[in-house]
Amino acid sequence: MSRIWDNGGVKAVRFHPLALEVIRTYSEATRRDLGKALHDLQMGATIGMPLSRPMPVVSDGAAELRLRDKDGIYRVFYVLRHAGAILVFHAFTKKTQATPPRELDLARKRLKEMEK
């Protein structure tokens, strides 16, 4: 079951439980930056590079939020295509230049789970 945060009248944010588990390990500053980005998306803002980048290799309409702090580089995948919610379906700490195939596979799997 996904967790839902509703911000009264605007798009809700639904988290895959395993993505939320990873996000909870991020630093407070990184979680705050993520929260601001998600709030901006809820309010209808369009976010581009360097904060957000399309990820068509995962799915049409998928994108990644690109976060960084003194301890690391983080990625959070989301889609906006659902009328009632922003789906946050995968999160991980990035350790290589390219996104590892395992992370892409997990992202696809988790998005399918949330769209059922």
Q: Domain spans of the chain?
A: 3-115
9 compared with 90, residue with greater pLDDT: 90
pLDDT, averaged across the chain: 91
Is the model's pLDDT at 95 over the cut of 60?
Answer: yes
Amino acid of residue 110: R
* pLDDT score of 21 more than 60: yes
In degrees, rounded to 5, the angle at the alpha carbon of residue 75 between the alpha carbons of residues 6 and 43 is: 30
Q: In terms of residues, how long is the chain?
A: 116
**For residue 1, what pLDDT is reported?**
43
Calpha distance 116→19 (Å, rounded): 17
Q: What is the CATH code for 3-115? A: 3.30.2310.20
The pTM of the full predicted model, rounded to 2 decimals, is 0.89
Q: Tokens standing for 89?
A: 């379906």
5-8: list long-range contacts, CB under 8 Å, 24+ apart: 7/39, 7/42
The first and second tokens of residue 73, run together, are: 């580089």
pLDDT of residue 83: 75
Q: Tell me the average pLDDT across 37-62.
A: 94
